[in-house]
Amino acid sequence: MQFKIENGALVCKRQGETLRIEAWGQDALRVRATMFPAFSGQDWALTEPVPAGTATVEMGEQELREGDGSFHKYPLATVTNGRLSVTVNHGGVMTFYRDGKKILREHYRNYGPSITKESHCLKVVNREWVPYVGGDYKLTVRFEPNDGEKIFGMGQYQQPYMDMKGCVLEMAQKNSQTTVPFMVSSLGYGMLWNNPAVGRVSFGKNLTEWEAACCKDMDYWITAADDPKGILKNYTQVTGRAPMMPETAMGFWQCKLRYRTQEEVLTVARRYKELGIQLDVIVIDFFHWTVQGDWKFDTKYWPDPKAMIEELHSMGIRVMVSVWPSVDRRSENFYEMSECGMLIRTERGAMQTYDYQGDCVQIDPTNPETREYVWQKCKEHYYDLGIDYFWLDNSEPDLTKYDFDNFRYHIGPALECSNIYPQWYSRTYDEPMRALGVQPVNLLRSGWAGSQKYGKVLWSGDVPSTWESLRDPLQAGLNLGLAGIPWWNTDIGGFMEGNVFDPAFKELLVRWYEWAAFQPVMRLHGDREPFTIPALDDRDWGGGYLHTGQDNEMWSYGEDVYRIMRKYYELRRSMKPYISKIFAEAHENGSPLMRAMFYEFPDDDKCWELTDQYMFGPEYLVAPVLEAGAETRKVYLPEGTWQDTRNGETLEGGREITAAAPLDSIPVFRRITK
């Protein structure tokens, strides 16, 4: 291994690989390696300017025992930036330390001098580059596991496990699965896998492996801090922080699949106004358009959208409209976009990537010309009419089949970069809206590292209306916040399979709604059954032919349900100053609004085990009711004094209690500071 110092960074070369380690932000290091003559130059999620590196690089030696029992001295390099340091030995194996205590070491099991304390003949190396003929590499990076370590973050996965230790995670964007490859360790460090390639991470008991199916560089970033709050602060300093959410979007959002006409939208809005309920946002969902890729209203059912929007604005309601990245071959824009290279390309077979309600190909937002073209269409047909926000649905993008090896983007093959697609898609709208002086609040179904800075609200995807799907998004939302994305919500009641006449569904809906009052965004949405409402016409295109679900407004489920919904609507409005305060925290230091219990109580071992309750900001402990028929639930109160927000009762913490939870009540406790 050859060591040298280059512009304050340690550069190491061995067997064709170049390794570079440098300071990158507070108590943090960026680690890159490549088998090419030079690095690709991509910063991916590390978009924010950071102060010039102040790392200390030291060259030294270590004495190791040889196979014959003798000792020999080998070169050893150390890079230190604040509380984080790393040593690189003569075999290129790295070991990371926080305040001098080992937190992470690469896994190496190969024959030779004692590169690690355990040399074997297994021929397993720490960084394995497998070349493709004439092209890039498949990369596997291996680390030793730490017994007793807990791992959180990584985005949104539909599973019951919040602690990722022992889990195998596919790193690929899919509907309801959002890969944000940043992990928070209970050992006081965080690590960003700064690589948008399709891949996999295994947090095994015996081995940790990060895999990229196709890449030019290894690139990861690691930081150290006292607690998760410090880790998130350092991480969002280098990847960006969420902007400040406008107060006009902090209340209640009304949505359903789907409002088919402008009169349906206005009828709903007028009814809410009559009831004295202030809508912050009303959402116009998909197939209000002619065909996918036209990005405009079907004038047959939306004859005067400008007048509609003006009336909604007069009621203080912002208007969001759904746009999709898919372009139907029948679209007036398809030929031009195809000829100009603005669509995803297929490597083989037919040029088709999506077949829902049409023969479609998705746009390629990694191409700046695509972003400009799509924004100009949406500006002309939506924004200039007064539309405030955009629902960027199918933003993974959704694909007919996830054959990532068959797709190619402007910046490279999908295997190499497709995980960053939703980030670039959000930038299609965020950047021009900011240039017009508007703070975007756009709704997306997917994201990647750094997406938080692009004015996006991410939601849990098209999950079914089941108790399991109520429970799983809770851990998903908490882990997404720990991965740096604080603006999040769910479809209240789940998206699919909810029968409006079923008492069991009404119970689920109520419990979901109560929980949503303590989410960053409170949005009522769903495709409600039974599907007995006929289409408006028999065309196979346009705004009238597709089905609509049953009514999904606060009053749609009977007086008892309405009474509970109204109660929690009023509670949400009363909390607006507090909600504004915690949105400001997200903007200032990267803290999520929904916080895992250990985020606020890192010294309480019990809090590292809890997955079914959380802190909403620093003050409110929220314990959603997650079981059918439940009238009580267990709640753990950390040390301190707590007040039951429902009856004012004061309780001492450091213990588990049984909290009452009748159907019209969710256990929420306020932390009392002395």
- Within 8 A by CB and 6+ apart from 221, the residues are 24, 25, 28, 29, 30, 31, 46, 191, 192, 194, 238
Q: How far apart are CA 79 and CA 515, in angstroms?
A: 46
- Whether residue 622 contacts residue 637, with contact meaning beta carbons closer than 8 Å, is answered with no
- Distance, CA of 72 to CA of 64 (rounded, Å): 6
All residues at 6 or more sequence positions from 386 whose CB lies less than 8 Å from its CB, including other chains? 306, 309, 310, 313, 319
Closest CA to 289 of 328, 340, 338: 328
What are the backbone angles phi and psi of residue 101, rounded to the nearest 5°? -105, 130
- For tokens 């054959």, the residue is 403
What b/e sequence results for 130-154 when a residue is b if at least 16 CB atoms lie within 10 Å of its CB, and e otherwise?
eeeeeebbbbbbbbbbbeebbbbbb
Residue indicated by tokens 């025992």? 65
Strands 137-143 and 127-131: antiparallel
Cα–Cα separations (whole angstroms), residue 56 to 12, 14, 29, 81, 101? 15, 22, 11, 7, 17
SS3 422: helix
Handedness of CA 328, 329, 334, 339 (dihedral sign): positive
Q: CA separation (Å) from 122 to 109, 119, 156, 416, 628? A: 6, 9, 35, 29, 51
Question: Which residues on adjacent β-strands are paired with residue 284?
Answer: 321
According to DSSP, the residues that pair with 493 across neighbouring strands are none
Q: How far apart are CA 55 and CA 226, in angstroms?
A: 20
Q: How far is residue 291's CA from residue 293's CA, in Å, rounded to a whole number? A: 6
Question: Quick check: helix, strand or coil at residue 21?
Answer: strand
Residues 6+ apart with CB under 8 A from 648: none
Q: How many CA within 13 A on the CB side of residue 643?
A: 10
Q: Which two tokens stand for residue 236?
A: 């969002």
Please indicate whether residue 396 is annotated as part of the active site: yes
CA distance 178 to 187: 25
211, 219, 294, 393: which is the annotated catalytic residue?
A: 393
First-to-last alpha carbon distance for the chain, in angstroms, is: 57
Q: Is residue 227 annotated as a catalytic residue, yes or no?
A: no
Which value, to the nearest 10 degrees, does the dihedral of the CA atoms of residues 90, 92, 93, 96 take?
A: 100
Instruction: State the Cα–Cα distance between residues 58 and 241, nearest whole angstrom.
Output: 34
Show the DSSP H helices in 386-466 as ranges. 414-417, 421-435
d(C-alpha 275, C-alpha 607), whole Å: 42
Which one from 106, 462, 472, 491 is the annotated catalytic residue? 462
Judge if the upstream peptide bond of residue 624 is cis by omega within 30 degrees of 0.
no
Joined together, the tokens standing for residue 375 give 């924004």
**Active-site residue among 144, 217, 396, 527?**
396
CB 419 within 8 A of CB 405: no
Residue 509, token pair as written in the block: 């809906």
Q: Which residues contact 539 (CB under 8 A, 6 or more apart)?
A: 545
d(CA 199, CA 186): 24
What residues are labeled active site? 393, 396, 462
